[in-house]
Amino acid sequence: MVSPAIALAFLPLLLTLLIRYRYYFALFYQAVLVRIWRDCRTGLSREERAFQYILTEATPGDPESILNAFDDWYSKVEYISILGPKKGKILDRLLLERSPMTVLELGAHCGYSTVRMARALPPGSKIYSLEMDQGNATIAEKIIRLAGFDDDMVELIVKPSDEVIPQLRSDYGVQTLDFVFMDHWKKCYKPDLQLLEGSGLLGKGSMILADNVLFPGAPNFLRHVRRSGLYEWRVHRACLEYSRGIRDGMAELIYQGVK
């Protein structure tokens, strides 16, 4: 049994850790503990609960209304791991600057970033959105269609990225990808980027935007980008979605081709 004197000796250290890492403790509480409790209490997944909220709060056919409902869900109800409005503005700006016609999204989750991209793209453009989790893909499909985007604008593919990328040309008729948004498993960033490089789908000037490269982080991906010599690149510094105190970043890559 620990004596009171020893416990008191460790109290300053404990308080220091709690203060220094308070945002991480808060994230763990909201993203893990609260989620587990509400999953058990409601019998629904977090994404299903968010969709029910959006159905009651958003206006069908209005993408801005749906994005705002997602933001309200977080601020008023429950944490959800989506891009969020602050990093979303970085994505918006890059899309408006480049006006890509063919977009690949790796990690649709529940459709927030898909809707955000679709509303910013020019007429005649198309998003191929990949999501390997069937439950999340079902919610994403409903959200995307609720926003008013049909199959001609957004094609949702429910398969792992490493299966789909090699088949994009043969099975989906994709010749070149103008823009790729990565927001799936961080361990997949590097191998999927290498698949894209080897597939011939990246043309000179193709842009890749990868989220969460600093937290939770994608060090192997960034190391490959630095060493490959294939890209002009930079990291847009930002905070983790809906967080003031956890530093994160989005990597912007512009493919220069094989030298």
Catalytic residue numbers? 183, 186, 211-212, 241
List of residues 6+ apart from 107 with CB closer than 8 A: 130, 131, 182, 183, 184, 185
- Tokens (6 digits) for 120: 């910013």
CB atoms within 10 A of CB 29: 12
CA 108 vs. chain centroid, Å, equals 7
Q: What is d(CA 143, CA 77) in angstroms, rounded to the nearest whole number?
A: 18
For the chain, what is the total number of helices (H) and then of strands (E)?
12, 7
Q: Which residues of 89-100 are buried (b: 16+ CB within 10 A; e: fewer)?
A: ebbeebbeeeeb
One-letter identity of residue 5:
A
